[in-house]
Each structure stands twice: as C-alpha cells, then as structure tokens.
C-alpha cells in the first residue's frame, strides 16, 4: 500500500514539474528536489506542488487567451467597416452581406487559425476556442445590448451562437493544424 502511495506521489510530482512555464522552472526543480529528500508525507507534498504548478500554468494560459481575445476583438470591431465598404461597392444589393455571411463564418476562422498557427505552434485547442467561441461571445453581448441579432429570444440566440461558435472553433482548429503541418514540413525541408 505504501509503495503504491509512493508511486502515485512520484507520478503526481512528475506531472507537477512537467511543462512548467520557463519563469518558474527553477522553482519546479526546487520542489522536486525537496520531494526527493522527503521520507514521509510525499503524497500531500506532491499534491501541493501540483496545485502550485497548475496555478502557474493557468496564469500563463489566461495571459495568452486574453491577448488573443483582444486580437479577435479588434478584428470584430473592423467588421462594420467591411460591411459599410461592401454596401458602398454594391448599393443595389443590400442583402449581399447576408449572402456572404456563411462564407465569412467558414473562411474567417480558418484564416485566423492559419495566422495564429503560423505565429504559435502550441496551445491549439485554447487558440481555437478563443477564436471560435470568443467571437460568438462578442455576438451574444451585442444581442444582449441591442436585441437585434440571430433569433428572436435569448434562447434562440444562444443555440444559434453555440452552433456557429462550435463550427468556427472547428474551422480555426483545422487552420491551426494546417499551419502546424506547414511549419513541420518547412523544418524538415530546412533540415535536409
């Protein structure tokens, strides 16, 4: 039983010191070194270290997600300008924007995924969620403020935004994976 507890503690400690942000790497080594010197209470020490390391990681992820969300917000803020330009270009067809909407919903997250994936190879899932769901969260806020978006009730709007958000998340994930693949191919070519 004690041996099994020790194995579990060692596994938790390994998890705690894995993929720690660079700024905290020295501290992760410090926690691990103390763990190696421990005779008793190894499991509770390892659990505490895991909690600390998760907080470090969460802080790092939150910072990254926030900066990406600001980027999404800036692009979303530019959308009315694009719509106005389209309306000026084709004044006879005011519905053009709505006809183009499905194309935008498919292509914009794919393009955003490609751009972000070229810039950062890691955190694909988080990036996809921020690009896909973040833009929809902005849409929901606009609905709450103006009550003039997709659907007539908040439930309708929620369902619509959830469906569109999921589709956009998937498309941006495809974009991120494509960018990662291109990066890998380029690295292999350079290595050759």
Partner 1 sequence: MPAAPRKLSPQSLAVLEVLHGREWLYGLEVSAATGLKSGSLYPILIRLADRGLLESRWLEPERPGRPARHAYRITGAGRSALAAARRPSTTLALGGI
Helix, strand, coil share (%) of the chain residues, nearest 5: 85, 0, 15
Three-state SS at 186: helix
Angle at 75 between CA 71 and CA 107, to 5 degrees: 110
Q: How far is the CB of 5 from partner 1 (least distance, A)?
A: 16
Report how far residue 171's alpha carbon sits from residue 192's, in angstroms, rounded to the nearest whole number.
32
Binder of partner 1 out of 10, 15, 38, 137 (CB under 8 A): 38
Residues binding partner 1: number (CB under 8 A): 21
Piece of the chain touching partner 1 by CB under 8 A; list 1-9, 37-45, 79-87, 140-148:
37-45
Q: How far is the CB of 38 from partner 1 (least distance, A)?
A: 7
Q: How far is the CB of 113 from partner 1 (least distance, A)?
A: 35
For residue 16, the tally of other CB atoms under 10 A from its CB is: 23
Contacts with partner 1 in 44-103 (CB under 8 A)?
Answer: 44-49, 51-52, 55
Contact between 160 and partner 1 by CB under 8 A: the answer reads no
Q: How far is the CB of 58 from partner 1 (least distance, A)?
A: 13
User: Cβ closer to partner 1: 44 or 67?
Assistant: 44
Q: How far is the CB of 60 from partner 1 (least distance, A)?
A: 14
Q: How far is the CB of 51 from partner 1 (least distance, A)?
A: 4
CA dihedral 84→102→111→155, nearest 10 degrees, is 90
Structure tokens at 95: 């519905």
Angle at 65 between CA 124 and CA 106, to 5 degrees: 55
Nearest residue to 69 via CA among 113, 125, 134: 134
* 140 CB-near residues (< 8 Å, 6+ apart): 157, 158, 161
User: Cβ closer to partner 1: 27 or 64?
Assistant: 27
Contacts with partner 1 in 17-36 (CB under 8 A)?
Answer: 24, 26-27, 29-34, 36
Interface contacts to partner 1, rule CB under 8 A: 24, 26-27, 29-34, 36-38, 44-49, 51-52, 55
């Amino acid at each position: 039983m004690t041996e099994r507890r020790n194995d579990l503690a060692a596994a938790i400690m390994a998890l705690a010191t894995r993929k720690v942000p660079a700024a905290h790497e020295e501290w992760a080594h410090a926690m691990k070194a103390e763990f190696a010197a421990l005779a008793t209470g190894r499991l509770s020490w390892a659990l505490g270290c895991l909690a600390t390391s998760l907080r470090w990681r969460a802080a790092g992820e939150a910072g990254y997600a926030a900066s990406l969300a600001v980027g999404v917000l800036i692009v979303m803020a530019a959308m009315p300008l694009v719509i106005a330009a389209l309306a000026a270009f084709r004044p006879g067809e005011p519905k053009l924007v709505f006809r183009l909407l499905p194309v935008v919903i498919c292509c914009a997250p794919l393009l955003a995924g490609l751009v972000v994936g070229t810039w950062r190879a890691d955190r694909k899932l988080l990036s996809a969620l921020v690009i896909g769901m973040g833009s929809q969260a902005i849409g929901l806020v606009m609905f709450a403020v103006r009550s003039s978006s997709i659907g007539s009730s908040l439930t309708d709007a929620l369902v619509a935004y959830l469906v569109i958000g999921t589709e956009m998340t998937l498309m941006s994930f495809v974009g991120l994976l494509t960018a990662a693949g291109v990066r890998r191919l380029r690295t292999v070519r350079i290595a050759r």
